[in-house]
Every structure is written in C-alpha cells, then in structure tokens.
Structure 1
Amino acid sequence: MKRIAHLALAIALIHSAGLIAAENFSVEEIQQQIQTNQSEYDSYHRTLEDEISKAAQLERELASLREKGKELEHTRQLRLNEMNVQYERTIEDPSIDINDARESYLSAVRAHKENKDAITSSYNEWQSKLLDVEQLRLSKHSLLNKIESLKEQLNNARVDRLVREFNRQDNVTVNHEITCDRDETFAKCTERGKSLAKQKASKRFLDQLYEGLTEAAAARQHRPYSDVFVQILRSEVARDGFSGAGNYAVQMNVDVKGSLRRTQACQLLGLDSRYCVAERTPPEVAKVITVPQDNSQVNTDESVMYELTIRSNVYDDEVFIDGVSYGSTRLQIMLPAGPHDIEVVKRGYETFTDTINLKESTTLRVEMQRAQFAFNKGEKVQDILHGDEPGPQLIVVPAGSFRMGDISGTGLENERPVETQTLDNSFGIGETEITVADFRRFVEETSYVTDAEKDKGCAYYDQGAPTWQEQLNWRTPGYANSDKHPVVCISQRDAQAYVNWLTEASGKKYRLPTEIEWEYAARGGTESDYWWGDSVGTGNANCGWCGSQWSNIAAAPVSSFDRNKFGLFDTVGNVWEWTISSSSNGAVVRGGAWNFAPRLARVSTRMELDPEFRANYIGLRVVRER
C-alpha cells in the first residue's frame, strides 16, 4: 500500500509541476515532459495490471477459505454429535472415558475458529487491495489526461515556434543581370532589373526560411498549399551599371521579413486548425460549413432553385429536409440545386431516408413500410411524472448494428478489440445530460441525500489529480451552476437512485445506459473518433483545449453545441456520463469532460471507476426501454 501511495504521490508531483508551467516551455521541454510522463504511465499501467491480478488471487483465496469453512463447520458438528453421544453413555456407565471425543471436538472448534479468522483477514486484505486498484485507476486516468494535455500544449508550442521562425527579418544581398530589350529605355530596363532583383531576394529568403525551420520536412510537404509571403521592408542599390553590350547589372541589399499568419501555421504543420485560431468565436454564433468533396458534381449557386415534390403512401407523416421539418406529405417546396438529405418519419413505420442531387424539378414517391414496433428514430418522448411534471426529454434511437471500440486505431488498450455489436430493440435515451433542475425535482420529492453530502464531499481536478473537498456537491460543484447545467458530483449509486425514482414516478422502465447503448447512440451512425469527424476541431464541444468558452473552466449548460446525427446533445465532452459495464465492478464513465483532453472525449474512450466515486466532471444520461 505504501509503495502505491508513494508512486501516486510522485506522479501527482510530476504533473502538478508540468501543468503549472508547461505553457511557457519550449517544444523540446514539453516533449521531454511527455516522454517522462509516458514512461511513468507505462509503469503505472503495469503496476495496475499486477494489482488487479493480486486482487483476483486474493478473491480466489477468500473463496477457497469459505469453502474450507463449510467443511470445517461440518466436521465440528460431527465431533459435537459424537461428544454428545459419549456424554449420554456416561449416564449409564460413568466409567466411560470421553476425553478423546472431547479433544476431537475442541480440535475441530479451534480449526473452525482459525479458518474464520483467516477469512476475516483475507477479506480485509482483499478489500484493501480493491481500494489500491481503484486509486491506481484514478491516478492512471489523471496521468493519461496530463499526457494528453501536454500534447495539446506541444502542438500550440509547435505553432508558436513556426510563427516565430517564419516571422523574422533579415538582409539579403543579391546580384542580378538582365539584357535590355531593343525598344526599352535605360530607365525602364533599370526599373525592371531592380524589380527582378527584389523578387530574387524574396525567393531566396523564402527558401532560406523553409530550409531553416525546425520542422522543415513537414513544412516543405505542405508548402504548395501555403499562403506564406515575404514582405520587402527596404531596398538599397549597392552598385549598378550597364555593360557595353547593353546588359544591366545590379547589386542590391534588401531588408525582408517573413509573414506567416497564425491561422496558416497549422496548414504547414498538418495540424488541426483549432491550434491556430486567432480569435475564438463563441459557440452560440459559430457556424459549420460543409464543403462537398466532389465540386464537379455539385451546383453551389444558391440562386438556382428547383421544385421538389414529395408524396408518400401514408398520411400524418413528417418530412425532414437537411434536418429541418417541412410538415407532412403531399409536399411541394423550392430548394437550391445540389444535394439534400430527405427523411420521412411516421410512428409505427420504418423511417425512410434518401439523398437526392437536385438538378431539375423532381417528384419523389415514398413507400413507407410498417415497423415491427412503434418507437421510431428521432421521435421525441417525454413521460409525465408525479404532479403532472414532465420527465427528461428523450430521443428514440433505432435498433441496429455497429462497430464498437477503437476503430481509428488511435485509442487506449481498454477500447480494444473492435467488436460488432447488435441492438435488437430501439430505445429512448436522454436528449441531454440530466440537469440540475431534473435532479432537484427528484431530491425535493424523495429527500434523497447524495454520497457527496453524506461523506467527504466531491472530487475536483487539481494539479493533475482528483482532490476531495467536503464543500462540493451537486448544489455547489465549484463553479457557477444553473438549472440548465448538467448535474455533477453524483456517484453511480446516486445515479441509480435517480433512475429508480424515474421508473416509479413515470410507470416506465428507466435505467442507466449500457456501454454498448451509450456508444451506439453517441456515434450516431458514424465510425469516426467524434460524431462529426476524426478531428475535434474548435468550438464543437466543451472539453479541455476544445476551443469553447467553457474549456478547462466549467461545465457548459446542456445543448450549448450541435446535436449528433441521432439528435443527442453533448455526447462529446461537457461531463463524463455513468454507464453500466460488463467489467468487474460494472461502473464505467464515457464521453469526456470539460477539463479532460480532446483525445479522452473520443466516442470509444472509457474510464473504469469505483461506483462510489463522484467528481464535478461526472454526471449521467438516462435510458428508457420501449
């Protein structure tokens, strides 16, 4: 136990120093920190695996002692019966010696007691080892977050270095000679010669800039797509003149300066553009622009409009075009030329989806097929609770199959192997994370007291490790909180109490999502690291270094960002969400959080925790069965 505690303390100290000062470190210094921390992480991972193995061995030994205890209890009972028989015989024959029977019974009692003591000792040792494993898991995830945080800072430092290396001044001396045209005056020839000399100086300086970069190879690869340019600050003719053959020669000293805007630096380094955002746009006004991959097939002139008519074989359906509801069929609408996503839904029918490339006025005839069940994709469900209060808003997710785990190959060991999973039934899942207002209604009706309010409060992330603070709970999580914020500082046990209450209050079956259900819903039919792609981008979600106004500060109000393709908000970042797992303790959180690095907010990232753990970055989302 001491060894583990010392190791955890050493890691915490390493990372507290790293986090405080990493932003001022050079690229090389941050790389060294990453290497050091990665070595520590690998060591920690091996230690965790060893401790898990020891805990399993202790559990087996405890089971063996309990089985032995049953046998010893049986033996003790036999010896007691034998001794009682001997005692009864002494009533008729007092001369009978019962010492052997008595000693046998005493020996059986001693063996049984020793085994009970061994069971107690083994149980305590097993529980202590489980606590060690949980602490190791927490510290391991904290360390991983530190490594990912350093990688974020590393990329920022690389951009800073590139901008610094490019945006420098120098003086370039060039010699240039031209032949004057026959019909060109000396003045014109002189002007042309000086202009070409400046171009030559600029080109030479630009080549020198590229060759002198620390990451010259990466920059050269992306050079054809760069907007880097050279600015001429001052030029001076050192000497010039004409030869007898009519050639003009000039030697020129040129003061030049490289000009690389930060927004262009990521292009040269092949980095995500979020590292090069000059000014961050608040998420509520940020816009996502989708550029078609094959522009030759798409007419992007929105002034060209065509009429689309949609008919179906049912009534009272609903038509969605590019995610916007246009009412029921028969529908006639004018749309810009180009691709449009069409979706027709009706309760009790399979959802119809199609993508059309509108090049002329078109009529689309939709044949709706009856569904096996009435829970349709995208349908919103909201049960009424006690007192005519509305329950959480749910979105229906359809049945289907998907590949679960580290599909991109960039994930952690506990995300592998990738497996195909099938959900045979549709289900309703929270449109958002459960809010403070949702949870308050439960507490006010039941007088429930959370684990954080009972004992030692709630953990917050401080200097690279979870730190407990008694004053923190779901009402006061350590940052400004409102009814629209996700509820945090709740354990899995608190979350289970909440869904049990929802079940009772609504008459419907509510529970926490399984890991399979959560990842299926969070992916929204995609196989990328995030539902919008493999890069986290800027302003798409609330996670550490994700470019939102809340990143590394606090949780954001729910639904502050775009929905995924199933209609769910905040499946990336904001707060980790409790799920039910097939792992040993059944408690795994998914989705990342406002203070965890983007790599830990990928759809397949999973973090195993003790069910009683709670933190101001962990909340929940609910599932309702059909």
Structure 2
Amino acid sequence: MNRLVHLAVAVTLLSCSGLAVSASMTVAEIEQQIQQKQSEFDNYNKNLDIEIAASRELEKELGVLRNKSATLEQDRLRALNEMNLAYEKLVEDPSLDIDSSRQNYASAVKAHKENKEAITQKYNEWQTQLNKVEHIRLAKHSLLNKLEGLKEQFNTARVDRLYREFGRQDTILVNHEVTCDREETINKCMDRGKNLAKQKASKRFLDDVYEGLTEAVEAKQHRPYSDGYVQIIRSEVTNSSFSGQGDFSVSMAVEVKGTLKRNEACALLGLDRRYCVSQADQQPGIQVVKAETTPTTQTGSVNTDESVMYELTLRSNVYDDEVFIDGVSYGSTKLQIMLPAGKHNVEVVKRGYQTYSQALDLKESTTLKVDLERTQFAFNKGEKIQDILAGDIAGPNLVVVAAGSFRMGDLTGVGLENEKPVQTKEILESYGIGEAEVTVADFNKFVEQTSYVTDAEKERGCAYYEGGEPVWQENLSWRNPGFTQTDKNPAVCLSLNDAKAYVEWLSEKSGNTYRLPTEVEWEYAARAGKESDYWWGDSIGIDNANCGWCGSQWSNVSTSPVASFKRNDFGLYDTAGNVWEWTTSQNSQSGAVVRGGAWNFAPRLARVSTRMELDPVFRSNYIGFRVLREQSK
C-alpha cells in the first residue's frame, strides 16, 4: 500500500511539473510538442517492456530459490535424522566418531539459512522492480493523457489558423463582357454585366483563398459541403464601354473579404464540431448584411443581397444539359458559380427529359444534385400505386422506381465472392415494386380465392434455422412458421413456386403484369441510389433493421411487422433484414436467388449486395418475397 501511495505522489508531481501548454502556441509548435511527447511515450513503452521483462526474470529466479528451499529443507531433515541415529549409536559405543554427521547437519542448516536469506533479498529486488514498473506505467498513462491533450489543442489551433486564413481581404481586378439582349434596356444590360463581373471576382477570390490555405488539400476535399462565402466590401467601375455589336464590357475593382462560420472550419478540416462550438460563429469586424434584412432587387422579382456571395454547386445525372439561373444560361453541369445571397430561380434543361425547376433561397454555400427524368416515363418516380383486383380486393401497395443505371455488387470490398465483379447495370423502364414484403394478410386473400396449397403444406413442411443450418419440421408452414405472427408480418415458409403462383394470380385478377423482381431490379430498388452496404450507410447501427444482433426487439426472435423501420430513399420498407426475398436470376444455376438478409442472420448478410442461391422448392421461416408490376403497354 505504501508503495502505491508513493508512486501516486510521484506521478502527480510529474503531471504538474512544467507540462502546461500555452493556449497561444502555433500549430507548428504544438505539432513539435506532440512529436516530442510521442517520442517520450514510445520510449516509455520500450522501457516498460524492458522493466516488465526484468521483473518477470526476478520472479522466475525467486521461484527457483523457493523450490530450492524445499529441497534444502529435506536435506536438513535428512541430515538431522542421520545425526540423531549417530547419537543413538554413540550411547551404545562411545568410541564411535560422529563428527561427519554433525558437520553434514551443520552444512545443511547453513545452506538452508543462506537460501532463505537469498529468497528475502530476491523478494526485495522483485518488489523494487515491480515498484519501478508501476512507476513507469503510471507515468506513461500521465504522459498519454498529456499527449491526447496536445492533440486536442492541435485541432483547435488548426481551426484557428484556417479561420484566420479564410478571413483575409483583397481587391480583385476583373474584366467581363456580355452581349445585350434585344429586349433588354441599356441600364439592365449594364447592371447584368456588373453583377456577373462581381460574381467572377468573388469566384476568383474564393478559389484563391482555398488555394492559399495551409491545409488546402483537406479543405478543398470538403469544399462542396462547406458554407464559406465572400462579402463584397466595395466595388468600383474603372472602365466600361459598348461595342457596335451591342456588347457591354466592364472593368471593375472589387474589394472582397472571405467569411466563414467557425463551425464550418471544422467541416472543412473534417473535424468534430466540438472543436468549434466554444467560439463565436462569425469573424469579428465587418458585419454581414443578410438578404432578409436589406433585400435588393437584381432581376425581375428575385431578391438578393449583392454584398454577400455564396458558392452554388450543381450536379446532374445526365450530360449536355443546360443550367439557367434567373433566366441567364451558365452552361452545363458540373457547375460551380458564385451568386448573391437571396432568392434565385434555377432550371436545368435537357431535350428528352423533364425540366428541373427550383426556387432557391441562397443563405449558404449549397450543392444541388439534380435527377432529370425521361419524359416518356408512364410512371412517376416515387408515385404510390395500388391495383384493385377482381372482387374489389386491394392489391399490394407499390412504389414506382424510375429507370436508370447503377453499380451492382460488392462496392465496398467487404462482400462475398459471389457478389463480384462489380458491374454497371441499366434499368430501361420504370416499374412498380412492393413497398413492403407480401404479408400474411396479402397471401391469405390469394389462398381464400384459389384454395391454393403451398409446397410446405403438401409435404415435408418448412425449414427453420438451428445450429448454423436449416432443420426441416413437418408441421411448419406459412400459417404456423414457429413463432407468433400477425396479418402484418411477412408471409414465410413459401417456395419460389409458391411466390410465382401468387404473382400469376395478381396478374390475372388485375389485368396487369405482375412477377417477381430480378435480382438486378431488386438491388437497384434496395440501394435507392446509394453505394453503401446498407441504404443508410456502411454500418448496420442499432435498431435500423430486423436482423440477427441488430438491436431490434425482434432480432433472433421472429419476423417483425412490415414497415416497422424507416423507408429507404425510394420508399421501400425492409430491404435490409426481416426476411430473405425471392428473386429470379440468370446468374444462378437454379434461377433462384434470395436477397436482403433475415431476422436470424448476421448483419453482414443483410448488406444490399449479399446474395444466396437456393433450390426453387426450398422454403423456410426466414424467406418471403415482394412483388414487381411492369408498366402497362
């Protein structure tokens, strides 16, 4: 106990002696200290390993001495016994010489005593060494805490530096020429030319700011998601003229200043916001006038604040489109431009596609991802449809998925061999797909109408999962899958043949073409435009889906009612987990593949690209299906 108290005091003194770091140190100075402390920490680790090895060697030597002590004790007792026997013989024959027996006993006692003293000495050496190890270990922990504190200060200093660098001020000289429209007045043409010149100056300045940052590479990587903007302090026309062809040329000197909210500095550096929350959101000095406080009219009824310029980034899913902002063409995407804060009208146009139009209130640097749709689509993307079957029976709820292309397979590199290679697939026509898996209630309508008997009910029953493999049980079927279910749970214990019988009935009763999705169509809908392992990201998280060890109340217990979790971005429920879903495939020898994972399978198998080839007659209480409806011709 005294040893530990002594060490604690020693480490406390070490922690408090001369290790304070000045809050005003530069990034380079802090980085140098981090390197120094890291080197010290590495040395502590090396020394600790050496001292631990020495303590183990002493402990080993102590063990040898203790084992030797037992042997020496036996030797002493044996010598004592021999000496006693010699004394008994001496009583009968006084002429006997027993001196050797006495000397043997004396030597045994001496050896035993010396060994005990050696044990005491070795034990003390061992304790001293343990004390040294404990001291180094505690000191190492203290140093580690200091090192981590330096790293925290390092990140804060990085934010401070970027914040200062971004807030620089400069005067940009710029020339710009516009062609006046025939229906445009001279004053409007001049104003348009001046505004475009200011935009050009702001864009050039902002690019220069990013290029001049100490951490330019990191900042430019996060630039599309940042809110850095430019404030125009003052602008002066140095020269302007009209040509004979109606072109207006203007030269301007534009005084600008970079402005960045502190939390955006964290975003640009890829740091947690905690490094920024303790500071003011904006730089001191010039007050930014927001559009909502002093709006000015630029073109028509579009309200803008020309003193504040934000960056607008436009991307689309097609080539050779044309972008119009406030009626002015800015070319095709990908596009990055500077615009005054305030309201703008954005249009993206391409022949054969529906025009994208949005009224944008620009209050920060913004990225728009435009998804242009072909005009010939009969279905509208995201539209919900439902057929009423003969006999006024409601069919499954469907969500329309628009045509498009996507990358299919193991995109993240953590998948199985049968998910490779990654291939680009194109969906040529939009289709309707079940927003949820076919439920017990849905399948029951079919059975009541047709008296259909499933494969499980005909023979052998249905399989359940136990001990890492499927086990067949004759009394299991979609009516009794081995756990409690409601009408809203997905129907299970159905073979591919059972699923096909259901969709054929839907086609007959609706007059439309229903079928099972191909695995290409299934993965396209399940991905919902994402390239991660799950539609919400690369980590399963907690309570995002019903799969084994996924944190839901049904995990490893049973199926969950459909729609118990959030929809994906295409509007589909349960594309990860709940039940494996039957799909058809040309890449399977049997033509049957299940996708999506299940309530009793590991999260890794609920990834969107995971596929499992099965016999079409197989059925289990963890396999169901969802339907697909083709467009009406």
Please state which band the TM-score falls in when normalised by the shorter chain: 0.3 to 0.5
What is the TM-score of this pair, normalised by structure 2? 0.46
Work out which structure has the larger RCO, using CA pairs closer than 8 Å and 6 or more positions apart in sequence.
1
